[in-house]
Amino acid sequence: MFSFSINTGSKKTLYSDLLTTLKELLSEEGDPIANMANTAALIWTYMPDLNWVGFYRAIRSYLILGPFQGKVACVKIPYGRGVCGTAAATGRIQCVRDVHTYPNHISCDPSAASELVIPIRGRQNQILAVIDLESPTMGRFDAEDVEGCSRLMEVLGRFLG
């Protein structure tokens, strides 16, 4: 059993503590699915105001559902479709204040209002997966979240390949 000390008082401290904890978790295991599962659980447990967090793995021209925390989710997303598919197709972070105004949005959970999707790159800069964070609060994600989650995913990407 793991015991972590994560301070959720400020975003800066939260992301610093999450990064330290994630590195410790990842050093325990080399299996990519186990590492994605623990990463999703870590974020779900300590980041406030989320209603879904999880991974979609890049397989050919689709994103296939990976480990997650939250309600049942869409299983297969084509590249270029929705927030996740756009992140995978462009290789760019998608930070969406209001998903209801996003073109081609895929609504797996109607209670989601904002979304942050970050591509995860492997050692050769290839996209391995995306992480998808959703919140019922419009405008939940800001520049601090983009930076903090990006650092977490850079570390995870090194462990995934």
Residue 6 belongs to some domain of the structure: no
For 57-85, what is each residue's pLDDT tens digit?
999 999 999 999 999 999 999 999 999 99
Note the pLDDT of residue 2: 64
pTM of the model: 0.93
Domain carrying residue 124: 11-160
- Distances in Å between the Cα of 21 and the Cα atoms of 13, 97, 101, 112, 116 are 12, 28, 35, 27, 21
Point out the residues of the chain with pLDDT beneath 70: 1-4, 7-8
Residue 123 belongs to some domain of the structure: yes
* Domain CATH for 84: 3.30.450.40
Residue 128 belongs to some domain of the structure: yes
Longest dimension (CA), the chain: 43
Residue 1 belongs to some domain of the structure: no
Other Cβ atoms closer than 10 A to 64: 14
Note the pLDDT of residue 106: 82
Residue 4 belongs to some domain of the structure: no
Number of domains in the chain: 1
Residue 2 belongs to some domain of the structure: no
Residue 98 belongs to some domain of the structure: yes
Note the pLDDT of residue 54: 98
Residue 31 belongs to some domain of the structure: yes
